[in-house]
Amino acid sequence: MPTQTFPSWMKLALAAAGFYNIVWGAIVIFAPNLFFDLAGLARPNYPELWQCIGMIVGVYGVGYWIASSDPVRHWPIVLVGLLGKILGPIGMVKALWEGRFPMSFAWINLTNDLIWWLPFALILIHAAKETEDKQRVFSPDIQGWAMRAKSQFGLSILEHSKLRPVLLVFLRHVGCTFCREALADLHANRADIEASGTQIVLVHMGREETAESVLQKYKLADVPRVWDPKLSLYRAFGLEKGALAQLLGPKVWLRGFKAGFLGKHGVGGADGDVTQMPGVFLVFHGEILKSYRHQSAADRPDYVALVSEMNDTPASR
């Protein structure tokens, strides 16, 4: 089953926003005149109203702290926070235009609002993509359509999964050294995977004749495979194009040298979309029980561990 993932910086950003808001709110509550004195403004006649604003800001901080535990799940809190951080500066600009506040008071928008626009917006974009991926995978229509794709043996993924559990492996283009390393790993662990009662089924994007040649080399030509040149199945299973860091980051270069040269898998031509990320799914009776989603092109799944978890799923009991 797909899980929601998010970069660690999102958790840190929301935790920092929560800490800042709580501290700022506490200062306003316990020293309501401080910011007015620093800006050279007259103290408010009703400090209780300003303290109430401090209380609201502090409560937002608690919300950000809670949201930091799972930014994707708690995206509504982030959205409400971003709206406040956009509307606040708009009100400040109006007050400055009308001469109600001096510029010396405008700095407060920088730390309270402006510096949080980018991280909050990026969190919301990431949450939207995660939600879209989840909808793709769990949509009965899209998933049912994807399961009807047939292997070279004339059986669909669904039919294969009804015979026994399927380890559905989405490959990168077969010229990729990590794709070849994955095939080597599958060959090395094939006996253990099949001993668990699981059938390997491959999904590839390149030309059939190229895939046949590479699979022959790794002694996997007899494994069921599904050809997906338009990447429709990749989309249906929520596998996206990789970002620059996922495709060409330092980890990718280091692992590429190890797999390509030390592992002697080499590098072939780009027979397919070089930006497409791979993934692995454990499917039984058309239901996705487990999934492994690569966070970088260089990730190396433990296929045996993935199928060994079959005995821990409710469907296998």
> All domains of the chain, ordered by start, with CATH?
8-136 (no CATH), 139-316 (3.40.30.10)
Give the per-residue pLDDT at 42.
87
Tokens standing for residue 273: 């979309």
Contacts with 45 (C-beta within 8 Å, 6 or more apart), sequence order: none
Under 8 Å between Cβ of 289 and 1: yes
Phi, then psi, of 287 in degrees rounded to 5 = -110, 135
Q: pLDDT, tens digit, for every residue of 157-175? A: 999 999 999 999 999 998 9
pLDDT score, position 135: 59
Angle subtended by helix axes 75-97 and 47-67, to nearest 10: 150
d(CA 157, CA 148): 6
| Average pLDDT for runs of 10 along the chain of length 317 | 68 96 96 89 91 95 95 94 94 88 84 95 90 63 84 95 96 93 96 96 94 94 95 89 90 91 84 93 92 92 86 45
pTM more than 0.85? no
- State pLDDT tens for residues 93-105: 998 898 888 887 7
Share of the chain above pLDDT 70, in %: 92
